[in-house]
Structures are given as C-alpha cells and as structure tokens.
Amino acid sequence: MQAHAVFNFLYTFALVAATVATHATGIMALGWGLIRYEIRASRHFKFLHNLGLFIAVIAVLIILHLIEVKWWSLFYASFGFFPDQSAAFYFSLTTYATLGYGDVLLPRASRVIGGVEALTAGMLMIGWSIAVMVRLISRVYDQRIEVWRQSPSDK
C-alpha cells in the first residue's frame, strides 16, 4: 500500500470521526435543550410557538452542518489541496451537500477523500438531521392532534 493511500485513509477516518463527534454532540445538546424547553413550552402550544421552535431547530442543525463542512475545509486548505480557505470551504460545502458541481476538484490522488466526505459527512449527517426533524414534527403534530381531540366539538 502506498504511503499516500495510508495518509488519505488515516486523515479521512479522523475527519469522519470529528464529523460524527460534532454531530452527536450537537444533537445531544439540542435534545437536552428541547427537553428543558418542553417543560416550559407545554403551556404555550400555539402555531407561532411551534413555528419558532422549528426555525430554531433548523438553525441549530444548519450551524452543525456548517461546522462539519469547516472541519473538512480546514483539512483541505492545510494540506494545500486548494489555493485558499475560501476555495476549500466552497469545495467542502458542495461536496458535503452532494452537489458536486465539478468546477473545483481535489488532486487526482486524493479524490476519494471527497467521496468519503459526500457519503459520510454529507449524506449520513443530513439523514441524521432529517430524522431529528421528523421526530420533532411528529411529536408536535401528535400533541396538536391530542389537543384537538380533547377540545369540545362544534356540533
């Protein structure tokens, strides 16, 4: 096995670990905040309240994803794959989001790193965030349906 391939594997593994650790920490903190918030929020269950909750959760998730993109872009820039941090961040963002415009590319010998970023950092972390949103929305809808069932009918 070539030294370059070992280098790519080790650094890619470290980046995946940093991405998962960042996402897990952020999701756990978000869950902790939502549990604390739910105690106070149960008395104020209105449309604008829920809308604000959804916006706040999505904002936190976007920030998490941007932090993860930054991890990868710092790696790309620090090893000179791109001329500056701006190009590295742009490449990482389009790769993470699995857009892959192709206007900025990694050097041929390191392109597999971009694929790993798209697969693990992008698709899996975005999927994890979607699961969090589906859980939150389902819970809010279930609570709303329960409130509607308990309210007197308009017969």
* Structural domain boundaries enclosing 13: 3-144
* Cα(153)–Cα(146) distance, integer angstroms: 13
Q: Give the 3-state secondary structure of 108-152.
A: HHHHHHHHHHHHHHHHHHHHHHHHHHHHHHHHHHHHHHHHHHHCC
Residues of the chain where predicted confidence (pLDDT) is lower than 70: 1, 3, 39-45, 153-155
- Residue 96 is assigned to a structural domain of this protein: yes
pLDDT of residue 41: 63
pLDDT of residue 153: 63
- Residue 103 is assigned to a structural domain of this protein: yes
- Residue 123 is assigned to a structural domain of this protein: yes
- Residue 55 is assigned to a structural domain of this protein: yes
Q: What phi and psi values does residue 144 have, to the nearest 5 degrees?
A: -65, -45
- Residue 127 is assigned to a structural domain of this protein: yes
Rounded to two decimals, the pTM is 0.85
Interior CA angle at 60 toward 22 and 119, to 5°?
A: 50
pLDDT of residue 44: 61
